[in-house]
Structure 1
Amino acid sequence: MKRKIIGILRRINRALPYLILGAMLCLGVRYSMMRSRLKQHYILTVGTALEYKVNPRGPGGSVKYSYEVNGKMYYSTDVYPELHRSGEYSIVGKQFPVAYDSADIDNSQILITAKKFKKFSIPFPDSLSWVEEYETDW
């Protein structure tokens, strides 16, 4: 009985890396599909940057933001490796355009840097030119 259990555990241990890799691949494909769909069916609204968390291991950080659609507030977080850490306190509390998916309102992205505007083929507004001093080349 003990040998059977050991044999089962060994088979599970051999399969575990493949299961993890498969799950990561599925999540990556899903994320890519969501971003692609967002770029095809986006609607712009105004959002507010609520928080900027610096990435302790690499460049930039993540921006937590809120936006309103049809009277309901939505919250999301977006990664910004191209936004320098010195911009941490400059963007919090400021308003920026937010692109959200017309079919899935939770699928959104806040547009702060010229790089993000370019992904949506939207010209970078002059009113956000002050953000350019916090951009890096990542």
Structure 2
Amino acid sequence: MTAYAVDSKRQGMRSTGIVEEIFEWVERDGKRRPSDVQARDEDSGMPLWSVEVIYKQQSWGRVSSVTNRVSVGMPQRPVLGEFDSVEFVDLRAEVRVNQAGGLVESWTADRIADGKPAAQASGQSSGSGKAA
């Protein structure tokens, strides 16, 4: 997968207020399914959370809004208000081509940037590994 570092201060993102646990995947009966066990960041050991964000994107001269999820490891569920501005530390976007030939983005970050109340930014980090 190709990974890109993204300057979170320049790529304005707003929280939708939706934060969910990320679960480990297991193979059962020949099928891959999410388990009941919350996934953990490989480097920090923190539980992984999916923070949904909305941001502007420009493609071929057309501006549109996009929602996506950023994987972040934190000791407790991040609490972000609906449409609050959110910044991430070491934000990365990984891009791959799916079977249909389309591009799929996967976003991760080491942590939510300082400036949030302790309950919101107490821990951190990304799901799948670090980008170079």
Higher strand proportion:
2
- So what's the TM-score if we normalise by structure 1? 0.43
Higher relative contact order (CA 8 A, sep 6+): 2
- Which protein is richer in helix relative to its size? 1
> Based on CA coordinates, which of the two structures has the bigger radius of gyration?
1
